[in-house]
Amino acid sequence: MRPDRPEFRPDPALSRAEMEELQRDIAEAAVFTDDLDFDPDDVSLDGPADADASGNERLVASDAPVIVGVDQAFLDGRAVSAVVAIQDGAVIERAHAVSPLSIPYIPGLLAFREGGPILAAFEELSAEPDLAVFDGSGRIHFREAGIATHVGVILDLPSIGVAKSLLCGEPREAVDDRPAGWSTPIEAGPNVEAPDGTVIGHAYQSRQWDRSQSINPLYVSPGHRVSAATTVKLVDALCAGYKLPEPTRLADAYADEVKAGYE
């Protein structure tokens, strides 16, 4: 897949002030409303719905959306970036890239460390994705430009961010011990460069134990061309009984697999 807006590439050599300024440009170019080329209701992890009288799937290309999960593994000073594409829940392609890392992890500037390596993996992908699921935040970011938003804008690809912990913003309600399916808005507060109260994402409880131990919720947010409400709906449809959505789990496993071959 080719970068649509190469001028937004996250250059690790930029100064901190330049990085932050680029993020404000990314946020301005980002679309936080639904502009998808598919119906969110068509997202499913089950096989094609239509089959002939004998129950066999039709021998034609599916028109179901192609969704990619993006994740990374690390070794020494390198990143193993993995992109796994699925359609109707089945893997149709896997692509990866191994790239040197030039800067350390800095909260708020993750895209400048991992964005380039991720774009390299996308260039190895031949499938044409309809949606990308990133491990990290999208709009839930100090300047509304987390890695899901940054990469989504560069590729002009609808994207969402799925983070395991909250970077910034304020949950409207306490998030502890919630049942599966529950969600609450994450609103912009003093740390976010957006009008106070702006809904920048949601805490979403994708899984929960029946008793005893409790699982923390996921923090999901729009990357590009997806609304906050649809983001929750998509993540819900992409989860299969585990805390993390399937695209993310598959990408995580593939990244580990590739990494294992390098050591």
- Please report, as ranges, the residues that interact with DNA according to CB under 7 A: 71-74, 105, 107-111, 135-137, 141, 146-148, 161, 163-168, 191, 210-212, 255-256, 259
| Pick 29 or 92: Cβ nearer DNA | 29
| Pick 225 or 259: Cβ nearer DNA | 259
| Pick 72 or 231: Cβ nearer DNA | 72
176 is in an annotated binding site: no
What ranges make up the beta strands (E) of the chain?
Answer: 66-75, 78-87, 90-100, 131-135, 159-163, 170-171, 183-187, 199-204, 218-224
| Pick 137 or 231: Cβ nearer DNA | 137
Residues in contact with 202: Cβ distance below 8 Å, sequence separation at least 6, in sequence order: 183, 184, 185, 186, 219, 220, 221, 228, 231, 232
| Pick 139 or 225: Cβ nearer DNA | 139
Q: Are 195 and 144 in contact (CB under 8 A)?
A: no
Between 16-29 and 147-155, two packed helices, what is the crossing angle to 10 degrees? Answer: 60
Give the whole-angstrom CA distance, residue 156 versus residue 221: 17
71 is in an annotated binding site: yes
Record the tokens describing residue 241, joined without a space. Answer: 């009984």
Residues forming beta bridges with residue 224, ordered by sequence position:
159
Q: How far is the CB of 235 from DNA (least distance, A)?
A: 13
Sole residue written with tokens 């997806």: 226
Record the tokens describing residue 203, joined without a space. Answer: 């805490």
| Pick 66 or 251: Cβ nearer DNA | 251
Record the tokens describing residue 109, joined without a space. Answer: 């500037």
Alpha-helix runs per DSSP H in the chain: 16-29, 110-122, 147-155, 228-238, 246-260
Question: Which residues fall in the annotated binding site for Mg(2+)?
Answer: 71, 135
Q: Binding site, residues?
A: 71, 135
